[in-house]
Structure 1
Amino acid sequence: MKKYLLLLACCLFSIFGSYSQSKTDIEVLKNTIWKTENLGNGLVWEYYHFNQKELFQSNQSVHILRTKLKNKSVKFAFGSADIHHKDSDTTRKLLKTSLIAATNNALVAVNGGFFNTKKGGAVDLIKIDGKALDTATYNSRKALPDHSRSAIVIHHNKISIVKGDTLPFWEKKLAEENIMVTGPLLLFNGKEEPLKNNAFTNNRHPRTCACITKTKEILLITVDGRNAEAQGMSLQELTFLTQNLGCKNAINLDGGGSTTMYIKNKPDNGVVNFPSDNKLFDHFGERSVSNILMILPK
């Protein structure tokens, strides 16, 4: 009997302890006074450094780019590092987010989907202005990896987050002229999506994600990591963050050393977050990537 009561007490402590922590984090986010800058063209940049271990009992550095879905002053787009030759194959390259963004005259940008670090090119479908640059490289005889089950699509300047399928080649049904398959999906129609129980999900890393809010805004979010000043987030924590920012649909992009936020005309080549590839908490640790999500002047 005593053993049973002890077990019950431990379970209750675990439940209420977890709830208390979540409640604390909700209050922290609710009361955060974000550093905010109006960038013009209906774009707003928000930033906060949680440096007293007050969010998830850790230090966190979060950047947000915010604009209305129906912002008529801008154009949503994908950018690629690849070089396209008129009558020959595409040259696969990897370039820094800031360079791809500046080349395309982007106002703001974040890094995009997952890519082949050795050969270049995306590992999932990416289509820009009707041209498929890369297609999925997964094994069609196995279950789809998490990053292959959802997408960001742009059609007539309307940007949306799409829930895909676990079956191979579902993305071939997408008809939009601009497609970036990525993932995993974090939220869809206001509900949490199931996440796999593995190191990629559970460990803290730098993260990049995009979400659409209940008030019809799009948020581009970076979470810095791999540093004492910013530990990064698990995907569960990232989901929690997007929920408390009012997101309805949210999707994960490539993270780790790729996580980069760019704002035109800012110092340090426009990099405003703290990319981790140089293992320093500064703006110079960008990793070269295959593609980006950007917002252009219309």
Structure 2
Amino acid sequence: MPKQHITKRKKITIAITLSTLLTGGILYQLADRYLIQHVEVVVADQAVSGAEANTEAVSTAAAADSNEAGQDSPEAVSDDWNYSSDDMDISLKQVTTGRGSDQITYYIADVQVSDASLIQSAFADNAFGRNITGDTSDIAEDHDAVFAINGDYYGFRSDGVIIRNGVLYRNEPAREAVALYADGTMASYDEKEVSAENLLADGVLQTLSFGPALIKDGETVQDLNNVKIDTNFGNRSISNANPRTGIGMISANHYVFVVVDGRSDDSRGMTLDEFAGLFKSLGATEAYNLDGGGSSTMYFMGRVVNNPQGRQEERGVSDILYLGEG
């Protein structure tokens, strides 16, 4: 065979090999970024944090006082849409507006708690890291939750300031986030301007890093069109009608959680402007948008209340917010 032909064949072989390696490398990078689990912390093995220790001490002291006084807490009273105990009152309702292609179905949970620490966070598989997921209902059941919603899907990204149940898990400031404080209040803040150390010192129990903020200091946030949360692969504007999950505060220890169905014949979803307007109409003085789309799920008393993904099928998420008596 002529030397020229051998050289051409070698070049073709080298080109194919390089192309294969390059394609394989890209596919691995994508899998590593979006699919392969990266466990950073196994939560169940962690020592009790200072904030948790304080809460535990207070709870223990309160229980001792109650026992000494001979006061047993009465059983909780509940039905399919309500739950009431000494520590929390939860009232759910389903609302449908519009008709035809403009119909929207959403779910409101009005929540009042005796102490802010009753609003807790939990991770899928009790592990913190990227691409660790579980259904909202499964995570809720693992923690004996009475009520739960999906959180901010922190595990989809590697940035953000993530404080959960008083413990700092990640400190990579990136966006506008929201903080839930021990005094029962919540407020959005710029992660790049407020340090995690100051947040903890100020009594922050939970931070959620998604956004945007919908209501600040009683005023509806303007110019929500074309908002983008990340620059991740596949990210696009989230301002159009979509399934939604959000949290709002009416007053200290009085919260409202909302999940909007979408992408189905029964509900088109809400725009960010509509979502902000809904929280305003509910009396929220602060409100924040959480992970939505296929993640949007509301759980109550052993069942999923809404219609995830428009087909009664949950999508795995990395974390939830929940309330439980345990």
- The answer, yes or no, to whether TM exceeds 0.5 is yes
Does 1:173 pair with 2:173?
no
TM-superposed deviation, 1:202 = 2.7
Query: Counterpart of 2:185 in 1: which secondary structure?
Result: strand
- For 2:188 and 2:90, the matched residues in 1 are separated by 26
Aligned length: 232
Amino acid at match of 1:274: N
Q: Which of residues 102, 108, 121 in structure 1 aligns to 2:147? A: 108
The answer (yes or no) to whether the contact 1:164–1:170 under 8 Å persists in 2 is no
Relative to structure 1, is the Cα distance of residues 254 and 195 closer, same or farther in structure 2, using a 3 angstrom cutoff?
A: farther
TM-score (norm 2): 0.63
- For 2:125 and 2:162, the matched residues in 1 are separated by 12
- For 2:287 and 2:143, the matched residues in 1 are separated by 25
- For 1:96 and 1:102, the matched residues in 2 are separated by 10
Corresponding residue for 1:79?
Answer: 122
**Structure-to-structure mapping, 1:131-210, within 5 angstroms:** 131-136=167-172, 144=174, 148-155=175-182, 158-165=183-190, 167=192, 170-175=195-200, 176=203, 178-182=205-209, 183-198=211-226, 200-210=237-247
Does 1:67 pair with 2:111?
yes
Amino acid at match of 1:213: I
Corresponding residue for 2:163?
Answer: 127
Amino acid at match of 1:45: L
The answer (yes or no) to whether the contact 1:80–1:291 under 8 Å persists in 2 is yes
Deviation string, structure 1 residues 76-124 (Cα, Å, up to 9, x no partner)? 111111545xxxx96861111111111111110000013344xxx7742
Corresponding residue for 2:315?
Answer: 287
TM-superposed deviation, 1:63 = 0.5
The answer (yes or no) to whether the contact 1:209–1:253 under 8 Å persists in 2 is yes
Instruction: Give 5+ residue unaligned stretches, structure 2.
Output: 1-79, 227-235
The answer (yes or no) to whether the contact 1:191–1:248 under 8 Å persists in 2 is yes
Relative to structure 1, is the Cα distance of residues 172 and 181 closer, same or farther in structure 2, using a 3 angstrom cutoff?
A: farther
The answer (yes or no) to whether the contact 1:111–1:291 under 8 Å persists in 2 is yes
TM-superposed deviation, 1:170 = 4.2
TM-superposed deviation, 1:221 = 0.6
Corresponding residue for 2:287?
Answer: 250
Write 1 or 2 for the structure with the bigger share of helix: 2
Corresponding residue for 1:272?
Answer: 305
- For 1:73 and 1:239, the matched residues in 2 are separated by 23
After TM superposition, which residue ranges in structure 1, 4 or more long, deviate above 4 angstroms? 89-92, 168-172
The answer (yes or no) to whether the contact 2:150–2:298 under 8 Å persists in 1 is yes
Deviation string, structure 1 residues 233-261 (Cα, Å, up to 9, x no partner)? 11100011111111111111110011000
Between the two proteins, what is the percent identity of the paired residues? 25
Instruction: Give 5+ residue unaligned stretches, structure 1.
Output: 1-35, 139-143
TM-superposed deviation, 1:296 = 1.3
- For 1:259 and 1:186, the matched residues in 2 are separated by 17
- For 2:250 and 2:125, the matched residues in 1 are separated by 32
Corresponding residue for 1:45?
Answer: 92
- For 2:271 and 2:152, the matched residues in 1 are separated by 18
TM-superposed deviation, 1:51 = 5.3
TM-superposed deviation, 1:133 = 2.8
Relative to structure 1, is the Cα distance of residues 123 and 221 closer, same or farther in structure 2, using a 3 angstrom cutoff?
A: farther
Give the root-mean-square deviation of aligned CA atoms. Answer: 2.8
Amino acid at match of 1:43: I
TM-superposed deviation, 1:172 = 4.7
Does 1:97 pair with 2:133?
no
The answer (yes or no) to whether the contact 2:260–2:269 under 8 Å persists in 1 is yes
- For 1:108 and 1:51, the matched residues in 2 are separated by 28
- For 1:213 and 1:225, the matched residues in 2 are separated by 25
Larger Rg: 2
Amino acid at match of 1:159: G
The answer (yes or no) to whether the contact 1:154–1:179 under 8 Å persists in 2 is yes
